[in-house]
Structure 1
């Protein structure tokens, strides 16, 4: 993952915010390197990460994949159909064109990371501007590890590149190690 950002997509309302979301859906924008992870692999993570058969309570919380082009649309639809066949159930997740993406307010960004004061303080010293903090690959990677994505092996390979102090490293290694992988 290069970067993840939380925001609003799929609607027509100009300048949506959390309290005035209009017809948008809360979503995550993912920037990735296709030489390191394929779109199909991202789709597999997506399907494992939510309840695709669940009813959504509102447009704000719609289960959806927003695609950029026909290739992504076709891959998303094929993965949805395959999941329906394997599971023998109706998948309610929608596959929709991305019309626009509006970044959510700063307090919504990197939510899991912000729950850890030590790691947040360290990374805020490195990235004092909110836009730089949100755009950082290291911040996105650490937030992902805190969310349960990534293995101890993956962390070992990249931890030197994340910019953490020995204390920050120990916190992150413990959190990933506690998952019992």
Structure 2
């Protein structure tokens, strides 16, 4: 997991249509909103992670799934554009990832939030126990970190250092460790 990331939420961004949802996304793109502590990780640091996490030379088959960096201000636009140019130079190929103004961000439906955690019965029950109000789950730093670990991000050492602080029961801790072990083993194949 990325040190300094406070929370992640999925939603729709970049378009002009009011109130997009999964069934009527219009000109928006499915995206992840990342809130972070700039004292612990810089915007440049997040950009480095972003560029390593996807294939920037592939063209998306629709606006809904395009690769994009949505910026909030001129500083972010400049940093994103400079980093994109550096990736293009390094790869020697055109980068298709767009750098675009955010305009608005609309949260995706509840069933999209912390999706990986919800795929495991024990973890879904743990999250319901800890966060009886779903909005609290969506906004939770701990849930964002657990969802990332469950997806195979971060290291075993990171997980071991913080798992006791994430509010899980013993059964929940075992489920997260088992889930992350499966994902890490799959990724190494």
Relative to the length of structure 1, the TM-score reads 0.95
**Equivalent residue number for residue 164 of structure 1:** 168
The one of 127, 132, 139 equivalent to 1:135 is 139
Cα distance between partner residues in 2 of 1:20 and 1:52: 26
Structure 1 gap segments, 5+ residues each: none
Once residues 178 and 39 of structure 2 are traced to their aligned partners in structure 1, the CA distance between those partners, rounded to angstroms, is 29
Q: Give the aligned CA root-mean-square deviation in angstroms.
A: 1.4
Distance in 2, matches of 1:98 and 1:35, equals 23
For each residue in 1:138-157, what CA deviation from the matched residue of structure 2 results, as whole angstroms up to 9, or x when unmatched?
A: 11100011112111111122
- Which digits, 9 at most, give the CA deviation of each residue in 1:69-100, with x for residues without a partner? 11111111111111111111110000011100
The offset of 1:176, in angstroms, is: 3.2
Provide the C-alpha distance between the structure 2 equivalents of 1:135 and 1:145, rounded to a whole number of angstroms.
17
- The corresponding residue for 2:67 is 63
Q: Find the partner of 1:15 among 8, 12, 19.
A: 19
Q: Which runs of 5+ in 2 are unaligned?
A: none
2:151 and 2:180 in contact (8 A); partners too? no
* SS in structure 2 at match of 1:51: coil
TM-score under structure 2 length normalisation: 0.91
* Aligned-partner Cα distance in 1 for 2:40–2:181: 23
Match of 2:90? 86
Give, in angstroms, the shift of residue 39 of structure 1.
1.3
Whether contact under 8 Å (1:151, 1:176) holds in the other structure is no
